[in-house]
Amino acid sequence: MTTSLMRKILFVIVLLLAGNASVTAQLKYNVVTSDIPLFWQMYDHLQQITDSAARVKLVETEYLSKGSPGLHQFATMREMTAAGFVKSFRKYPLFWQHIREKTLAVQQQLPEVYAILDRYEKIYPSWHRPDVYFTIGYLGTGGTTTQKELLIGTEIAAADSTINSEGMQPMLRNYFRNNRGIAHLVAHEITHTQQKGVDKEGGWHTNLLGYCLAEGICDFVAELLLEKELETPYIHYGKLHEAAVWQQFQQEMAGNDVSNWLYNNGKKGEQADLGYFVGYAISKSYYLHTKNKTKALQALIGIDVEDIHSLNKILKQSRYHGDFFK
């Protein structure tokens, strides 16, 4: 057998193995994208209708009613209505014209999603597999979770700086500008499905430290899943101004007001969402200072954010003092 023939045979074997790995992943996880083509089929049909009531009815019958269980759950949790879709189409016509191809391209990014899920299973013994649904809403959220499902608003998750976002809220425009892609969103949001009390949709009875750890842990675990450091604006800013950020955070962390630190679009006149950075920094410091990394992940991901004693224990054992990234 010639060397050339052997190389060709090896190449074919590699392709077959890769294909088998992909098929195995598809059988292993329930990742659903059927709502995306269903949405665009409805959208195209809608362009032929001018009557407002008929347009609303079409969205309801051809999309919301026919959608996946994930879409039904998403619509219920976010109180989405057919009229809300019609209003969004009218308000942001250029956005909806431009976002189609990016949402359809999600199908080609699924191998990255499967790789993230596989890696989670390897590093976290208590992992339970959530169903992942790529749906389309009307610019309400890029992703939300229950303990059984990751529900992705693909119209946000797939958008980037090239998309027309004229007239939209600054928070959305900033997200599009800095969006790192589907894999980053999945890597962050998937940890929420593993956390205690996630079905409360952020309505935990906890303090600022608890909220920031709940989000920051997701960012830190995302680094492990992606096998590279996150490069978000708030992490970049936090590293440069770590001592000042920590000093201010300490003054507020026992309180219940999160508005200066989370979901705030830079309310303090600074970088937005610095609470994510603080939670991320504490989590990373805790992980690196714990010898048994599996137990460290169990403690972080499995923490009860409503247990103030547990929060303070994690903070103390992290040895974090606002100087981790010096």
pLDDT digit string (tens) for 164-200? Answer: 999 999 889 999 999 999 999 999 999 999 999 766 5
pLDDT for residue 269 is more than 70 = no
pLDDT for residue 74 is more than 80 = yes
pLDDT at position 108, please? Answer: 96
Question: Looking at residues 224-248, what average pLDDT do you find?
Answer: 96
pLDDT at position 212, please? Answer: 97
pLDDT at position 190, please? Answer: 97
Which amino acid is present at 133? Y
Q: How confident is the model at residue 1 (pLDDT cuts 50, 70, 90)?
A: low
Least confident of 83-87, 258-262, 267-271, 314-318: 267-271
pLDDT at position 309, please? Answer: 97
Compute the radius of gyration of the chain from its Cα atoms: 22
Q: Which residue has the higher pLDDT, 281 or 268?
A: 281
Q: For the segment 21-58, what is each residue's pLDDT rounded down to a tens digit? A: 456 667 789 999 999 999 999 999 999 999 999 999 99
- Domain assignments of the chain as residue spans, ordered by start: 31-192, 205-318
pLDDT at position 89, please? Answer: 98
Q: Which residue has the higher pLDDT, 172 or 13?
A: 172
pLDDT at position 21, please? Answer: 46
Phi-psi region of 31 (alpha: psi -120 to 50; beta: other; left: phi over 0): beta
Phi-psi region of 302 (alpha: psi -120 to 50; beta: other; left: phi over 0): alpha
H or E segment at 311? helix 308-318
Least confident of 15-19, 81-85, 92-96, 239-243: 15-19
Say whether 186 sits in a helix, a strand or coil.
helix
Say whether 150 sits in a helix, a strand or coil.
strand
pLDDT at position 101, please? Answer: 97
Dist. CA 67–CA 31, nearest whole Å: 14
pLDDT for residue 262 is more than 60 = yes
